[in-house]
Amino acid sequence: MKDKFFQYIQDLQNSITSALENVDGKATFQEDIWKRPEGGGGRTRVIENGNVFEKGGVNISGVHGKLPDSMQKYFGVEDADFFACGLSLVLHPKNPMVPTVHANWRYFEMYDKDGNIVDQWFGGGQDLTPYYLFDEDAKHFHQTCKTACDKHNPEFYPKYKARCDEYFYNTHRNEGRGLGGLFFDYCKATNGMTMEDWYNFETEVGNSFLEAYVPIVEKRKELPYTDEQRKWQEIRRGRYVEFNLVHDKGTLFGLKTNGRIESILMSLPPHVQWVYDHHPEAGSEEERLINILQNPIDWV
């Protein structure tokens, strides 16, 4: 399974970066192949200063070795080895009318001292973070997620949509990071689902990403915007940074397993603002966004 899924994310990285270069029309992804001293490595691809994308990364990794003590305590195991692989992407567009997007698809195995698999699971999802809210974009993104889920189980979309709203939430701000999408984790061979079934579901969602995001980018990338709207985008990006550094489990896992810092922190945008006690103008589009982020709604 690990070989099969690692091959899948290599192919997916190629198709996503190729499509995004076409959308941008100027910038291309810079590739960085790296090795992890403890075992494994990855292929980082970063795009910067494009026509559309100010900064973005589409990274894959496959790492293995002894599970660090801090993570052994977290999982309640002793003397365990692990293998983890996944694709993680974040795209920060230049135009504030185009939403930021994040996605991740991953697979994990844990082994006993004899090398036997004692646990394995899939996880992942994709979520949208707009700065200016176009309802039709939110509906399109969520409908694409729902369509992918419904091919496997009609209960998946409402379940994983709710988990996404719950997970990508800045509790210290009492607001969502964005409009959500899907979030699932610890998907194991239980309740009638085999690991092969989970693989099929995971890849279905991965394959839906470009359909979910690219039409939104194409529709919004040429829209005009003001300096004030750009400032709002940078303030909202600050909230994005806060979530990734304070709450995100993937970031914390990477830092605790001696992960590659450049790859872990590639999700951070290049231009961000923290304005003291900032409040959007009453009745504005900015205030409308905040109100929706504080009270998640069903888009489909």
Residue-wise pLDDT for 38-90, tens only, equals: 899 999 999 999 999 999 999 999 999 988 777 778 787 888 899 999 999 99
Quote the tokens at residue 226: 């003001």
Residue 56: inside a domain = yes
Amino acid 267: pLDDT: 86
- Give how many domains the chain has, as a whole number: 1
Q: How many CB atoms lie within 10 A of CB 209?
A: 23
| Phi then psi dihedrals of residue 17, to 5 deg | -65, -35
In the predicted model, is pLDDT for residue 262 greater than 90? no
Amino acid 45: pLDDT: 97
Which tens digits make up the pLDDT trace of 92-127? Answer: 999 999 999 999 999 999 998 888 999 999 999 999
In the predicted model, is pLDDT for residue 251 greater than 90? no
Cα 62 to Cα 5: distance, rounded to the nearest angstrom: 10
Amino acid 112: pLDDT: 86
Amino acid 252: pLDDT: 83
Amino acid 78: pLDDT: 80
- CATH number of the domain within which 251 lies: 3.40.1500.10
In the predicted model, is pLDDT for residue 162 greater than 80? yes
Residue 299: inside a domain = no
Residue 300: inside a domain = no
User: Domain residues for 102?
Assistant: 2-294
Measured CA to CA in angstroms, residue 182 lies from 108, 146, 216, 236, 299 at distances of 19, 9, 17, 21, 13
Q: Is 102 a catalytic residue?
A: yes
Cα 299 to Cα 286: distance, rounded to the nearest angstrom: 19
Residue 175: inside a domain = yes
Q: Mean of the per-residue pLDDT values for the chain?
A: 95
The answer to whether the beta carbons of residues 246 and 172 sit under 8 Å apart is yes
Quote the tokens at residue 299: 């888009």
Which tens digits make up the pLDDT trace of 173-202? Answer: 999 999 999 999 999 998 789 999 999 999
Residue 75: inside a domain = yes
Binned at pLDDT 50, 70 and 90, residue 257 comes out as confident
Q: Which candidate in 92, 102, 140, 142 is catalytic?
A: 102
In the predicted model, is pLDDT for residue 253 greater than 90? no
The pLDDT > 90 percentage for the chain reads: 84
DSSP single-letter state for residue 172 = T
